Amino acid sequence: MYDFRGRVALVTGASSGIGRAVAQLYAQNGAKVVVSDVNDEGGAETVRLIEQAGGEAAYFHADVSDPQACEALVQFALDRYGRLDFACNNAGIAGESNPTGSYSIEGWKKVIDINLNGVFYCMRYEIPAMLKNGGGSIVNMASILGQVGFANAPAYVTAKHGLIGLTRNAAIEYAKSNIRVNSIGPAFIKTPLLAPLESDPNLMNMIVALHPIGRLGQPEEVAELVMWLSSEKASFVTGSYYAVDGGYLAQ
């Protein structure tokens, strides 16, 4: 357990999956949590689960592809709780499945807008808020596909590679200001994002087989790493990329 009492955390894409697990674990460790998503029903459920467990949280609807929405989200955290200490920029989409030569322009723009631009927009407003506190920790949710390619996912792969570069750049810029910025690279995690694939057992078996550990990851396993990176136990860690991948990238 970590002592995050008196701290405020912001989590995007927190209506389900990894984002929900991160929000819940921040709250379990004592932080007040701003839960954000475009899925209002799922976001409200995340808040309910946190409050049911004795934590404190508030929901704010924000489309991270809109810079004004990201600004409003951070301002909501400041208005509601008076500060911002931690941010987990987790919101993202998988996008369509097509090779580069036939990938739709609209699909490309949507993935880049949410998965890459959205993280920049959030950081653009999170960082000034953290500077007012004298520091903070930002964890950006990348992917194993921020390190390697994956056929028929050019937009997603590009966005996640770019996200890791953005993370490293911000880490260098704000290291002396006591703001640490790191990224995490999950492999295939058992979340609603994989739900469309579960109807095909053969495909799911193929996906599981990509991981030497022999199973998919769980959202809570990713959330645990977010907690460590947010905590003072990781005080000398910034600009880093950590895979949570069951050995996927070791092959």
Residues with a catalytic annotation lie at 156
Tell me whether strands 8-12 and 32-37 are parallel, antiparallel or unpaired: parallel
- Helix pair angle (154-174, 105-112), 10° resolution: 30
Gyration radius of the chain's alpha carbons: 17
DSSP the chain: ----TT-EEEEESTTSHHHHHHHHHHHHTT-EEEEEES-HHHHHHHHHHHHHTT-EEEEEE--TTSHHHHHHHHHHHHHHHS---EEEE----------GGG--HHHHHHHHIIIIIHHHHHHHHHHHHHHHHT-EEEEEE--GGGTS--TT-HHHHHHHHHHHHHHHHHHHHHGGGTEEEEEEEE-SBSSGGGGGGTT-HHHHHHHHHTSTTSS-B-HHHHHHHHHHHHSGGGTT--S-EEEESTTGGG-
